[in-house]
Chains A and B, each alone.
Chain A
Amino acid sequence: MLNSFMSYLHSTVTPGEAGNQLWALIYVLIIFAGVSLTVMWLINWVERKALAHFQVRLGPMRVGPHGLLQPFADALKLMLKEDIIPAEADQLIFWIAPVIGLLAAFTVYTVIPFGPSQAVSDMNIGILFMLGVSSLGVLGIVTAGWASNSHYPLIGALRSSAQMVSYEVAMGLAVVSAILMTSLNSTGTGTLSMIGIVRAQQEQHVWFLFKFFPLGFIAFVIFAIAMVAETNRAPFDLPEAESELTAGFHTEYSGLRWSLFMLAEYAAMMAVSSIAVTMWLGGWMRPFPNLLHGPAWELIFSLFPGLSFAAFAGFAFIGTVRMPKHSFFKVQRIGLGIFALVLAFIALVLFVIAIAGRNADTSIAASFREGIDYVYWFLMKIAVFMYLFIWYRATWPRYRFDQLMRVGWKVMLPISLGVLILTAIVGVLV
């Protein structure tokens, strides 16, 4: 067991491929815990803070320094709430619905490549699997709306199913145009494997975002719009449209069940973002590998994870200093100070690993450094998308149902079809 544990540290393939069940299990646990925690704590907090600052207010400030513990307080509150199933609801389906949504959102993480070997498994139909399973999420919403046996949730569920179906099409076509690009190699065969797609970008020395400019870019934009619609976020948040349908499909849900829906929504946001990152933004690859390469640049880029944590630690430290000098804030100040120290310690560890593993040999430090780099850049790219999601929400009004359909079928579908055909033509000619 220890053997299989150690042997993977130098592996260049995913545990799924290597048949290393122990590490596959470890990855599943890490991903499940990591995604849950990130969603529940980090994204929740960042969304509330960022949204608040867009809207000239402070956001959560009371629970923990700068509201850092607010998400935990909320989670605790949600868990302690009474578990209500409406008397008229279809109990079994009402119970299953959020679980379906959550399972669909989390299952896709098995094929997301955080690095060339940092994934549970490398499926040869990875992207198909992802699109297929992530569309199952709509089943959770539809069943939730149906089982609630109430008018508003029903309308929300109907909206949701229609919306998801129409945006899947444009989304799929955009993905196909990226998959076509993977076949531009000596053998002429493309791949559906998520890792294979990133490797294809590596071999062609270009992110597919810039491939056949502007074709890749347009396909990316189509996908970026469709993925907002797919995850029911503003401005396409019609299924839960607060001002119209009170809360849409989850009107009758409360407490833990409701929070499962939220967890699923945010997990799905990260999942679709990672599709976009894999298909067009070079997955785990760091930016400018063509332009800035050589040992010096490698070292500088490998310092980035440490630098980010050092910056976070710096912000936390400034926050500690700026905290009002009053006994009321004493606990908060100490808490934030400890938080800053923890971040600084993580930054230090990352620096040490980056420098200790600078020689690309087979030492554990080197493979750690590589792994950290891959995961870091992948997560940073996802973070950009998460920020965009929040930004959209702060900026735009909501589309109306028929306009949403029109944009999906009459604008995005023809454009993505055109892009697909042009990509094929250009690919043949090149």
Chain B
Amino acid sequence: MTEQKTPDQKAPATIPAQSKQLPGGLTDTSMRVTGTRLDPSGALGSRAASAAHLDLDTPDHPYLDSNELVINMGPQHPATHGVLRVILKLDGEKVLGTECVIGYLHRGVEKIAENRTYTMFNPYVDRMDYVAAVSNGLGYCQAVEKLLNVEAPPRANYIRVILTELNRLASHQLWLGTHALDIGAMTPLFYTFRDREEILKIFEKYCGARLTTHAFRIGGCLYETYAGFEKDVKNFLKFFEPKIDEYETLLTGNRIWIERTKNVGVISAADAIALGVTGPVLRASGVKWDIRKAIPYANYADFDFEIPIGENGDTYDRYLVRMREMRQSLRILEQAVNGIPEGPIMAKVPKVIKPAPGEVYHSIEAPKGELGYFIVSDGSTQPYRLRVRPPSFVNLQALDVMVRGALVADVVAVIGTLDIVLGEVDR
């Protein structure tokens, strides 16, 4: 089975409020907290450490009783981005603590990997972060390539970069739309979906699929670019640049947007690093960590781009970082589509992939953060063990630190700004 619990974790606590006798003689015993618990003696600051004991037992007040409210947000809730369940302990509107309950979308992807050959498992990774399927595929393919000691040819790398950056844009667009919707602005959602369509059209033309693309193969790409691919991408770049301005007109200077996002869900750089947070969430706290620059993969080293960082680590900074990241993605795309070389798109890979025994960890900068694959090979055609380090899962840990003491509305804003995809959290 997938090992999700850390060894030092305590026995899961049952929540009294939830395990009461339900009408009809049903006892609700299934609701055990398997969420994120932090080690109080760890490297975290005191604020983060206070998240360790989320005691959901309501203490007895003999005098002036002010009961806390324990409410369930999700797994069916319009703003939890899927089937995330957050148990909120509230004092009026103020959040005293949260527990994330996950696993509602658990499909055992890592276990499936142990029963599939390396090639057969490739499409499964698309179903984790289905919003950024191309990035998932890239991470997996490169991890296996590393295990096999194979390098994808330059042209394949260029195609990979173009498609992953397009996918980054698509993922950020979806984040922007849903995040704005969570905060109450309905309209950006429709704008972003309208423009995301153009990216999906390019994917569809390239590989026939729009969402779960399975665009890459181990060793390179299966498909050559279609006629007019470069032109489509260039047209898209021209089309999309003003659209970012359009989104920003609606939100960046909007008074209510600023009030709702400034100083909301603040996480310090130290806390973010201690919690393992990566991606735009980490960069908004002022840490310049982007795997595309730090440990360049594919051929990101060839491109000239910047890593936007924020200062305050609040929701507004995360918003700005992602918006600037979209512009940087456009820069990368422009360079990539103009410099795409001729040549083969597939390296020499054996028909039956049988890597030598060993292990490999490879990580890429997915739109949501560091997406890592740890593969242990026992020399057979199937991985002995495959472990995914999904950015959403790790970033979700920060939720409690970010919303403690805030209001209910901020929980929604922070879930949106963390940009989680439950397919990836639960795998």
Q: Which residues of A contact B (CB under 8 A)?
A: 51, 54-57, 87, 151-152, 155, 158-159, 234-235, 237-238, 241-246, 393-403
Bound-state CA distance A337–B251 (Å) is 42
Q: Which of B182, B189, B251 has the most CB of A within 10 A?
A: B182
Q: Does B256 contact A (CB under 8 A)?
A: yes
**A-contact 0/1 string along B388-414, CB 8 Å cutoff:** 000000000000000000011111100
Check A234 against B184 for contact (C-beta < 8 Å).
yes
Q: State how many angstroms separate the Cβ of B58 from the closest Cβ of chain A.
A: 14
Q: State which residues 85-105 of B face A: CB under 8 Å.
A: 92-93
Chain B residues, CB < 8 A from A55: 186-187, 189-191
Check A246 against B69 for contact (C-beta < 8 Å).
no
Check A235 against B186 for contact (C-beta < 8 Å).
no
Check A398 against B256 for contact (C-beta < 8 Å).
yes
Q: Does B236 contact A (CB under 8 A)?
A: no
Check B93 against A397 for contact (C-beta < 8 Å).
no
Check B184 against A243 for contact (C-beta < 8 Å).
yes
Check A399 against B190 for contact (C-beta < 8 Å).
no
| B255 (CB) vs chain A CBs: closest residue | A396
Q: Which residue in B71, B79, B189, B254 is a CB contact (below 8 Å) of A396? A: B254
Check A244 against B412 for contact (C-beta < 8 Å).
yes
Q: State how many angstroms separate the Cβ of A403 from the closest Cβ of chain B.
A: 5
Check A400 against B69 for contact (C-beta < 8 Å).
no
Check B78 against A246 for contact (C-beta < 8 Å).
yes
Check B408 against A244 for contact (C-beta < 8 Å).
yes
With A55-B187, A397-B184, A397-B185 as known contacts, state yes or no: A243 contacts B256, CB within 8 Å: no
Check B183 against A57 for contact (C-beta < 8 Å).
no
Chain A residues, CB < 8 A from B79: 243-244
Apart from A155-B69, A397-B184, 11 more pairs, CB < 8 Å: A55-B187, A235-B256, A243-B182, A243-B412, A246-B77, A395-B250, A396-B184, A398-B183, A398-B185, A398-B256, A401-B407
Bound-state CA distance A235–B185 (Å) is 9
List 5 A-B pairs, minimum CB-CB distance, nearest first. A398-B184, A55-B190, A243-B79, A397-B185, A397-B184
Q: Could you list 7 A-B pairs, sorted by A, with CB under 8 Å?
A: A237-B184, A238-B409, A243-B181, A396-B184, A396-B256, A398-B260, A399-B256
Q: Does B194 contact A (CB under 8 A)?
A: yes
Q: State which residues 34-92 of B face A: CB under 8 Å.
A: 69, 71, 77-79, 92
| A245 (CB) vs chain B CBs: closest residue | B408
| B92 (CB) vs chain A CBs: closest residue | A158
Q: Which residue in A152, A244, A397 is a CB contact (below 8 Å) of B257? A: A397
Q: Which residue in A51, A57, A245, A400 is a CB contact (below 8 Å) of B260? A: A400
Q: Which of A242, A244, A401 has the most CB of B within 10 A?
A: A244
Q: Does B259 contact A (CB under 8 A)?
A: yes
Check B23 against A395 for contact (C-beta < 8 Å).
no
Q: State how many angstroms separate the Cβ of A50 from the closest Cβ of chain B.
A: 12
Bound-state CA distance A332–B408 (Å) is 47
**A-contact 0/1 string along B171-215, CB 8 Å cutoff:** 000000000111111110111001000000000000000000000
Check B71 against A393 for contact (C-beta < 8 Å).
no
Chain A residues, CB < 8 A from B408: 155, 244-245, 401
Check A243 against B187 for contact (C-beta < 8 Å).
no
| B256 (CB) vs chain A CBs: closest residue | A397
Chain B residues, CB < 8 A from A400: 259-260, 407, 409-410
Chain A residues, CB < 8 A from B187: 54-55, 394-395
With A398-B260, A400-B259 as known contacts, state yes or no: A235 contacts B184, CB within 8 Å: yes
Bound-state CA distance A244–B79 (Å) is 7
Bound-state CA distance A400–B264 (Å) is 11
| B190 (CB) vs chain A CBs: closest residue | A55
Check A57 against B190 for contact (C-beta < 8 Å).
yes
Chain B residues, CB < 8 A from A151: 69, 71
| A242 (CB) vs chain B CBs: closest residue | B78
Q: State how many angstroms separate the Cβ of B96 from the closest Cβ of chain A.
A: 14
